Amino acid sequence: MYAVAGLFNGFQHAFAFVRDSALPLSSILYCTNNFTATPINTLWFVALMAALQGLLAFVGTVATNAIDTMSITAAYAIPTFAQLAFNNDFKPGAFNFGFFN
């Protein structure tokens, strides 16, 4: 059940990035199936990436933990760096951290 929830969550995030053309090959991944009206290419892309990460379990837990740690660090560091380093028009919403935003 945990794997299905992880795939579903990954699919939602990937679809949002593909929809906004934030991923490479977004034009290919965004193609929708005519019968189901879903972006099936994005679903298969997420499933393939999850399977590749699952293969790391055969290498060892150290490799899996290293990849996970680097991914989480990059997920927080890249947007923070981009906001601080580049000129942007970011406008805080109703819930914000004031100066720390």
Query: Residue 40 corresponds to which tokens in the numbers above?
Result: 């099936």
Instruction: Tell me the whole-structure pTM to 2 decimals.
Output: 0.63
Find the range with the poorest average confidence among 1-10, 11-20, 31-40. Answer: 1-10
Find the range with the poorest average confidence among 52-56, 63-67, 71-75, 85-89. Answer: 85-89
Instruction: Evaluate whether 54 touches 10 at the Cβ level (below 8 Å).
Output: no
User: Residue 1 pLDDT > 70, yes or no?
Assistant: no
Rounded to an integer, what distance in angstroms lies between the CA atom of residue 48 and that of residue 42?
10
Domain coordinates in residue numbering, the chain: 1-85
Rounded to an integer, what distance in angstroms lies between the CA atom of residue 9 and that of residue 71?
16
* DSSP, res 23: S
User: Residue 26 pLDDT > 80, yes or no?
Assistant: yes
pLDDT for 37 equals 80
User: Residue 2 pLDDT > 70, yes or no?
Assistant: no
